[in-house]
Structures are given as C-alpha cells and as structure tokens.
C-alpha cells in the first residue's frame, strides 16, 4: 500500500458545529468515493450518529467545544473528525 495514500486525506470538508455532523461525514465519504449518499453504508452500523453530533456539537450552554478527534472506518475509508479544526478528513 502506498504510504502517502494512508497519510494524506483523499477528501477534506469543513463543517459548522451547528450542522448535522453525521450528514457531513456521509457527504465527505460519498465525495471521496464518487458515490451517492444512498450507496454509503449506514453510519449507524459503525457508530451512533446522535452521539457523534452531541460529542462535537455545541455544549448544552451554547459554548463551543475546544477540540477532540474521533476516527472510524466507513465503507473502506478511514474517517477522522477533528473538532479543533472543524473538519472531516477521509483517508483512502
């Protein structure tokens, strides 16, 4: 496997913390794989979409979260959500 392929994202998308992060993740993988959203495996087979949104969304008092990352695999891609940079990275 090409080392560059695993260390450089094939797609990067910025998000706003008020967006539905689960949708942003599926969108990013769909773009990276040149597929439709319907062709992407269900995100809830990998993790709880509501928990993902709560983890990276605004706190209950409205303050932004300072940072944190989570990585998981979806449809053969490694996906990393980076709260500090407000981006979803998709690796091939």
pLDDT (tens place) for every residue of the chain, 92 residues total = 444 446 899 999 999 878 899 999 999 999 999 999 999 989 999 999 999 988 888 888 988 877 899 999 999 999 999 999 999 999 99
Q: How many structural domains is the chain composed of?
A: 1
CB 18 within 8 A of CB 49: no
Q: What string of DSSP letters covers 57-78?
A: S--TTSPPP---EEEEEETTEE
Provide the whole-model pTM.
0.86
Residue 42, domain extent: 3-91
């Amino acid at each position: 496997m090409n080392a560059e392929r695993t260390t450089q994202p094939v797609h990067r998308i910025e998000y706003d913390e008020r967006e539905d992060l689960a949708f942003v993740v599926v969108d990013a993988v769909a773009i990276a794989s040149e597929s439709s959203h319907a062709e992407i495996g269900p995100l809830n087979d990998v993790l709880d979409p509501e928990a993902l949104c709560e983890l990276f969304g605004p706190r209950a008092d409205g303050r932004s979260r300072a940072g944190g990352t989570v990585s998981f695999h979806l449809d053969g891609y490694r996906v990393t959500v980076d709260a500090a940079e407000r981006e979803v990275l998709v690796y091939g």
